[in-house]
Structure 1
Amino acid sequence: MKIGRCPAFVIMLLALVGAFAPPCAAAVPWQDAEALRSESAATQRLLFRAPDDLARRDMSARIERVRHLWADRLQAAYRLGAADAVAPIDAAVDDFAAALSGWNAAAAAAARARLWTTLLDGAMDATLTALDEGRSEDAAQWLNIREYARTSRDTAATIAMREVLARRLDPAKAREVIEAELLGVYAGELRRSIAESRSHLASGYPVQFAHALARASGLRDLLSDNIAARIGHQHAEAIKTALAEAGSRPSGSADSVLARLETSLAIYSPTSLSPEDRERRVRLLSRFIGLVPVEYEKGVRDGAVTIPFEYFEAGLFRDRAAMLFGDLGADLAARSPQAFERLGAILAEIETVIDAKGDEKRVRALSEAATKTIADTYGLSNEGGYRLALGMLPDLFDEILLVAEAGDWEEAELKRLEAYALFDPDIEQRLMPRAPALALKMEAGFWEGSASEAGLGRLIADKGPPEALRQVVERMKAATAQAHTILDSQLSSLGAFLQSLAILVREGLEAVLVLACMIGALKAGGTPAGGLRGWRLPVSGGVSAALLASFALWLAVGQLFDMSTLQRELLEGATALLAAGVLLYVTHWMFRKAYVGDWLAHIRRKAEMASGPREIATMFGGLTVFGLAFLVVFREGFETVLFYEALLADAPAMPVLGGLVAGSVLAVAVAYLMLGLEARLPVKAFFRVTGALLALMSVTLVGSGIRGLQTAAVLPATPVSWFPDQTWLQLYLGLYPVAEALLAQFVIALLLLGSIIWLLAVRSHAASVAR
């Protein structure tokens, strides 16, 4: 049948089908919504240029691009899915274009904010309507046009939508979850926009003020029905009127209006919290407030930013705390109006001090006052720091995935570092004594991963692919659940004993071997034990100093200052490499004694030299012995103290003490056996055996040191597939399946081998000369 020659009844049938068939939803071009957002921001930035002919031509082209994205790409979908939003968006686009053409930066900023919030309003209505009508695929597309939470709770909506699409969750239930989360996000953003309005007003930034105030007005419109339902129509109208007044008043009175707005909104909560949700938010609020001085003291010194990332983190945690305070405002005010007012004032003052880069001690005092207020109001106990961290991690993993899928890789990296800061030390310290393999697996997952399974750090640096990132997020969530199960299980007395013993064997045996080899070599070389030139003083001094330094650092970190995760890794890595350097020198010296001539005669000749040179040589040797003893003990001492502290929090004290004693006895036995070799083996054989052991320790220390610097984000890490990924190799030999560490260890092994070959050549040459 040819087109144009259809029988009349066919045409009538098609017309009837079209008339009575339900309307098809247009494809939701959510990528175009994001493009419109970024394009409008880029277009507004053109206003910073002088309005010459070239700039105006660029502006005209940009305006047409904005109009095209709305009129030709998004408008049709909004007409079908959110018809009420079309006229306001049309008006916002027209206002934006007019302000741009008139080179009016403040008006353009306000119009752009209204444009985006109206798009969000329509998208939210369309999402919920599609779920009501059973169009889950359309709802999932509309849900992509949204803003994401700045607190770690933005996961439920995405998960609920995923479950609906998989037909494992009823759409009506998913609608409740999604609506509650979106309302919570936009309520938090409303508070944030008002706070930003006040900040920009105080700083004298009219363009930023116009944008933040218009954004607050748009979010209020989005939330208007919910605000009226939750706190009454009168309050809702007062908020609307106050926002309008703030834009038309002078700076001083506008700030007072905005301050009243913040007070009015503090009692507004978009949804009723369950007891579980309330407790979680309370604990998160306390934790975020507690983290503010930790990051601020590392990021600011004497009114200047020293570490920008730490300073940023301090502000981020304060903002997250403020948003959680908003969620809890109605409940907190009902429980204690005084606590509500006190906490609000503290959060405002913390923000002021941070913005001014003010006194670190003041931030610390305010934080402590806030956490005490929260604890007194809600009866919080001090338990569960690691449990809270375990509860927060899955949400943060989902946030990483969400912001990465939105293309914000910088935010994804910040969230990865935030998640890692929860893992180490809160979780890793407790997990390492009980499940070291899982602890190492999770740590690698935060960073480069393995050759077969990339980690979060590598995927975020490479910007994908999204499917691989989704897989690693699921693996990390599964590992977190496994860690939760392990740490929540009660340790038996036998388990506590064995884990205590394992800590000392794993962390201390290496130092014992090094010290025993060194003492044996000194004894075999005729060095006396006592006296100023004996070996006992530098060895015992180095060990004692290392133990004291380990406990002093532990006390200081707990009481005087906070050491970040990356700083701890950097300290451990640098100490290991220093120890490896000293050990290389000692190892070369021992090989020289094992392979070259009569070293005892050499010692005797040195002893017969003038007193001045002998004292200098002795002093150098003493410092070397002291330094090596200090480094090999201190490298593991601080971490060992932390592990025992964590183990004692979960286990009965006596079995832990028993494991410590048994481990110490085992270490002494190993040292005794090593020193016994000195008396039983020929001198050269002894030096060869101990030299080989120290050479192995050198390689181990280099691997551990490089790994520490990689975990501190100082060096890159490239996983390799040709080396086994085995926990025991990593724990006891420092052999990690990463190219940089293996390459460094290979170079050290070559140096040691080259040392032996050179010494053998020297001996051969000396023998030929003697003949």
Structure 2
Amino acid sequence: MKLKPVCATTRYGLILLALMGIALALIAPTVSAQTRSPGQIAEHIRATLVSIQLHEAGDPTTAQAHLNELYGEYTALAPTIGHYNTSADSAIRAGFRAAGNALATADMPGFAMARAQIWTALLNGGYGVVSGALHEGDTLTARQWLVVREFRHANRFARPNADATKAVYAAANGALSTEEALAAVNADLLDTYQARLNEALQALIAADQQGFPSRRAETAALAAGYFAILTPAYAEQRGEAAAMRAQAAFAALQEAAYRGEPIASLLAEVQDLLRGFRAAPLSPAEQVRRSGQMLRFLQLVPIEYERGVRNGQVTVDLEIREAITFHAGAMAAFSDLRDLLEQRNPDLTTTVAARFTELGNALANTGNRTEIAEPATIRSTTEALLSDLRTLLPPEWQKQTSGADFDVIRSALDQMEQAVRAGEYALAESARLEAYAIMEIGPEAKLIAFAPQYKPIIEGYFWYGQNDHKGLAYLIEQRASPAEIAATRAALDQALAEAEQALAGSNAPLAITTNAAVIVFREGLEAVLILASLMGSLKAPGQRRFRRPLWIGAGVAMLATVLTWILAQSALMAMARLGETLEAIVSLIAIAVLLLITNWFFHDVYWKDWMASFHQQKKHILGGQTGQWLGLITLGFASIYREGFETVLFLQALTLEGSITTVLAGVGIGLTLTLFVGLAVFVMQAKLPHKKMLIVTGILIGAVLLQMVGHTVNVLQVIGWLPLHPIRWLDLPYWTGFWFGLYPTWEGIGLQAAAAVFVIGSYYLAEYLQRREQQRYVIAHS
């Protein structure tokens, strides 16, 4: 069949389609780059640069073509990075130029160095975008760019930190302010990149010892790039001049590593410049936790080692690996604390570091069978190290906390799962028993006292079952699959996490609101009655004009009370880093004052003497010819501000137990009740049963006192300032502690009982003394 000739229209259509196809092919990479997220583009650049170095070193033409494509992909990120972090954008562009030059000259160390520069500058750019966007309130951009980041390398003792992600999403949902989110992002990312910097320097040492030129150049450039991210924090802490010196030292180290020159002295200089520097300082709670981890892990090293070595031979290899792992965990915690410890005692810190190295070398030699140390040697070395640490560590870091125990429990459970995967069920059972033993000797006593509802749940998961999960003991006995054991382990981890959080101690929000309302109403009622008594004594026509200065003084006292609240809150915020320690101190002060005024509430001596004092001052002022107004203003101020100051003090203790919103709700209720009483007394001239009201509210204050004593004892036991002895036969429901501060511990119930005896006993003592004085008066005048 003869084909018909293609018409001109069809021919032009085909040509047009061909041109469109060519255009699409040319713009496809750009369109793809624009539709992919910043994290996907950055990761593709990183992975392709690695591929070029590994697989295309011998084909410079293909490598250069791929490098050009990557630079084209970066142009999709460049405007945003350039807007927020111009130095990072410049470093990325310079890195691409250096990579191209290295490919042209077959300089693989140079390409490795450029590759590290591009990647760390991308990380720096991503950090800059997230920080800048949050500062502008643009949480959408911050969320999109937060994925351009790295995490700390996970191990059995440190999981990847997701605080930045949680904070950005919370800010996007309105649950967190952008300032708070920015602080969390800075802490997370700076901590991550300082850890990565330390790892890069260690990798540089290893590459130098092994004689790997490309690896030397790469790790030196990584270290310089990570420090570029940390430079603003370094400059803020040590000044711009010190930051410039440090940057010059990193540049010199990078250049020497690239050229194959000796780096020992330059590396020592860099390490000396970094000594004592921490980009994201640890909070006091984190310091205590790291310290607890270090001490607990070190204590376990000789125990595990002794189980694995007998008669100069390794009998259980897993136990040796466990000893090595615990040493690594303790060493990691020491590294996190080292800058702080060097500020306390640099010489002893250096000694401790040397002992860590000595112990680590001995364990490593046993692990690779080059030299097997005697268990007694490992124990003596560990004990010497622990002795030095107990001298070096601040006393508050050495308080026993549950955090380190929970970390060790999780580590032992990791060992259990590892043994199950290897089919070593006997070793798995040994690890399970070890985890349970740590649970028994550590957190269990606190669980019995403060969160008893978690104890049967956790024991069920450890032994023979809980809910839909069979227990670990049963599963190991039945040689269950790793998947089944992992499922129960996940449920146990969840219960452990909830129990750990519950041990922090807290009160029910409604209980806090009620306590705040009672305190405000009681103090407000007393202020109203004092003011009413003073006003009532100024009924004469010539004295009514003196009521105005009393009202002015009372108004100024209210304003002063508000100012005192603001100053107290500012002081607490400034000391917030003290955490539960601050709560304990403030609560102890509040309890001391509550004990005194509760004692006064229950007898007439306080009220009569206090009111007599005010009336005496009033008579003295009115009897004078000058300064009457100022004196009455001062009297009105003093009569009200005393109550306001006491109220502010008590409420600060409550704000540390719950949120300010919860406390202010109670303040609002208390002020409303006080306002009603004030209106009844001053406007309606009602005669209220003042004494009965004082007694009833005094009894309520006594209940607040007992609740506050119980909660404060709980906090003191949590931070280790008081011993903990649970009453094992007393099974109280969890809500008794949550609502009333009533926990089944001898210390808590004993001190609550002592507070009650003190208040009630002082009442009867005051009544007895008053009756005796009356009898003496009658006898003297009869």
| Greater radius of gyration (CA) | 2
TM-score normalised to structure 2 length: 0.46
TM-score normalised to structure 1 length: 0.47
